[in-house]
Chain A
Amino acid sequence: MKLRSPLSEKDVRQLKSGDTVTLDGLIFSGRDEVHIRALEYAREGRKLPCDLRGGVIFHCGPIMKKVNGHWNVVAAGPTTSSRMNAMEPEFIERFGVRAIIGKGGMSQPTVDAMVKFGCVYLAFTGGAAVLGAEGIVEVKGVEWLDLGMPEAMWELAVKGFGPMTVAIDAHGNSLYKEVDAKVTKNVAVAKKKLGLLG
């Protein structure tokens, strides 16, 4: 399935966990420091340098290189999303983002916020940074570069970005929760087999 950002609530509500998607449009990189600063700005009533409404946040700290005064992306895969667990529900609510691209999944409060405000989590294969860079056609700009290259907010135009898996949908379904339930059962069997129980 092909998605195009900015995304509407209807766009994301129709996605189901397990769907495979690619994305065209604009995405913004944002990890630990972007989340911290953006929320500080919002609490102080200051405007963000970019409008994130209907936008897509990419948990990513890319490798960029400046060539002839223009930023080029060298490598851009997802980072571990769980580091943003504590900040993501408020981030989704305040800025109206419709999709988060990352790896490893996010905790229940974020799943709840995705249901409430209409947002999805798209899992992109961790480490697939050359493939990620291949899907980025242009670096549109960068904000907050004082945070350092990995932590800055990069505005990226993408085409055919993916493949990504809808791992948490806007209806509370999460592949991670499904896998967790199976893992709990399997681990009990494995422990028994290893003689670790009783």
Chain B
Amino acid sequence: MRTTKLVEDVTVDLLRMAVTSLPEDVLTALRLAEKEETSEIARIQLRTILANVEMADRRTLPMCQDTGLPVFFVSGRRIPHLEEAVRRGVARATSEIPLRPNAVQPLTRANPGDNLGKGMPHIHFHPSDEDFTEITVMPKGAGSENMSALSMLNPSQGAKGIKAFVLDTVVAAGGKPCPPTIVGVGIGGTADEAMLLAKKSLLRRLDVPNPDPDLRRLEEELKDALNSTGIGPMGLGGQTTVLGVLTEDAFTHTASLPVAICLQCWASRRASARIFKDGHVEYSKEGFC
């Protein structure tokens, strides 16, 4: 019973932390971009973003009105009735912070007003033998999520096919996903797994290099190419189209090469907490790894 209340409280804290304040790695990347931009209109966009983020943090207000759909990743020790506790936390956060009631029935578009519904919020569970439970929330806005893409490439298309698909997708998205974006790329698995890898890759810090040297090279090459397009902040031109490219891979079928892209707006909001057996809780905006 006590643990359930704790999980509910942690859920509210995580959502508040995520929607009102950016992780340090994202802030650093935005500040650097503002310093290096040469286009005046691009600099105005970046300065406006930084002023807005600072004001949101100071007043504990949501930095963007699209507080997204709350996507949860839960790993580690199983806590009984965790799902119900998270649901209660989401409803409370919606009225307390407040969050925008974004969750609607897909066909009737009916909006219950509390961000709850069938399959909502979405929780990805990965139980393990750790002595703590880790909960991460990624509030995902629709502007960037609507630009998601999946391609089932032929294996013969290889790395070149992946690069072309990422380039074409980001160019087609233009200013719509609120650039400078972070580009999550999932490579391999099945179609659904590739999409999940793309989303999960967005949880990595921008200043932590990919441990796989091939993926690291791919990320650097793609970042340079995307920033050479000139789309710029908000699609109004400039040299900062992306803050980073993050990839994750998994083994796939010998006849398949699934590639999934999940774009994240500049407001790359995320927050994590570890709940230990004794009730002690640790928080991190940037994530623990």
Say whether chain A's binding surface is mostly helix, strand, loop, or mixed.
mixed
- The answer, yes or no, to whether B126 is at the interface (CB within 8 Å) is no
Instruction: Decide: B64 and A193 in contact? CB cutoff 8 A.
Output: no
Between A and B, 14 residue pairs with Cβ closer than 8 Å are A62-B100, A63-B67, A74-B62, A77-B65, A80-B146, A126-B175, A126-B265, A129-B56, A131-B55, A133-B61, A148-B111, A175-B237, A179-B236, A190-B228
| A74-B98, A104-B234, A191-B164 known; A127 vs B175 contact (CB < 8 Å) | no
- Shortest distance from the beta carbon of B224 to any chain A beta carbon, whole Å: 8
* Interface locus among A1-9, A44-52, A88-96, A181-189: A181-189
For chain A, the count of residues having a C-beta within 8 Å of the partner chain is: 51
- The answer, yes or no, to whether B230 is at the interface (CB within 8 Å) is yes
Instruction: Decide: B230 and A61 in contact? CB cutoff 8 A.
Output: no
- Shortest distance from the beta carbon of B98 to any chain A beta carbon, whole Å: 6
- The answer, yes or no, to whether B244 is at the interface (CB within 8 Å) is no
- Shortest distance from the beta carbon of A25 to any chain B beta carbon, whole Å: 21
- Shortest distance from the beta carbon of B54 to any chain A beta carbon, whole Å: 9
| A103-B178, A127-B267, A186-B229 known; A163 vs B235 contact (CB < 8 Å) | no
- The answer, yes or no, to whether A139 is at the interface (CB within 8 Å) is no
Instruction: Decide: A125 and B52 in contact? CB cutoff 8 A.
Output: yes
- Shortest distance from the beta carbon of A105 to any chain B beta carbon, whole Å: 6
Instruction: Decide: A126 and B174 in contact? CB cutoff 8 A.
Output: no
- Shortest distance from the beta carbon of B241 to any chain A beta carbon, whole Å: 9
Instruction: Decide: A82 and B176 in contact? CB cutoff 8 A.
Output: yes
Give chain A's interface residues, CB within 8 Å of chain B.
18, 20, 33, 60-63, 65, 74-77, 79-80, 82, 103-105, 123, 125-134, 148-150, 163, 165, 167, 175-176, 178-180, 182-183, 186-187, 189-191, 193-196
- The answer, yes or no, to whether B204 is at the interface (CB within 8 Å) is no
Instruction: Decide: B174 and A105 in contact? CB cutoff 8 A.
Output: yes
| A148-B111, A190-B228 known; A105 vs B175 contact (CB < 8 Å) | yes
Residues of chain A with a CB closer than 8 A to B228's CB = 186, 189-190
A74 and B56 CA atoms in complex are apart in Å by 10
| A63-B99, A149-B101, A189-B228 known; A176 vs B175 contact (CB < 8 Å) | yes
B63, B66, B142, B232: the one contacting A130 at CB < 8 Å is B63
Instruction: Decide: A79 and B143 in contact? CB cutoff 8 A.
Output: yes
| A79-B143, A104-B235, A178-B237 known; A150 vs B230 contact (CB < 8 Å) | no
